[in-house]
Structure formats: C-alpha cells, structure tokens
Amino acid sequence: MAEGLARDLLPANCRAESAGINAHGLNGHAVDAMREIGIDISSQESSEITQ
C-alpha cells in the first residue's frame, strides 16, 4: 500500500518499490482498499531484500 501511495503522491523522478525479507503476493484487501481511493496496485509485485 505504501508503494502505491508513494507512486501516486511523489514526483515521477522518485522510485518506490515494495520489498521484505520474504516476497509475498498482493493482499486482496489491500488492493480493494486502494481501489476505494482511486489507486490501482493490482499489478504491483513485492521483492525480496538481498545483501
């Protein structure tokens, strides 16, 4: 959700990505909640943080 908000609110020259220790798929509730405020995150993917 934070990535979707950042992409919507920040200038185009800023890059926002979602990442964590484990990559998980999108949460359907998050997709629905963001759709309610007009932001489509359905094509976003999470990535794993690597060293």
- The tens digit of pLDDT for each residue in 22-48 reads 777 788 999 999 999 999 999 988 778
Model pTM? Answer: 0.73
* Residue 5 and residue 41 in contact, taking contact as beta carbons nearer than 8 Å: no
Q: Which long-range contacts (CB under 8 A, 24 or more apart) does 21-24 make?
A: 21/48, 21/49, 22/48, 23/47, 23/48
Per-residue pLDDT, averaged over 11-24, amounts to 83
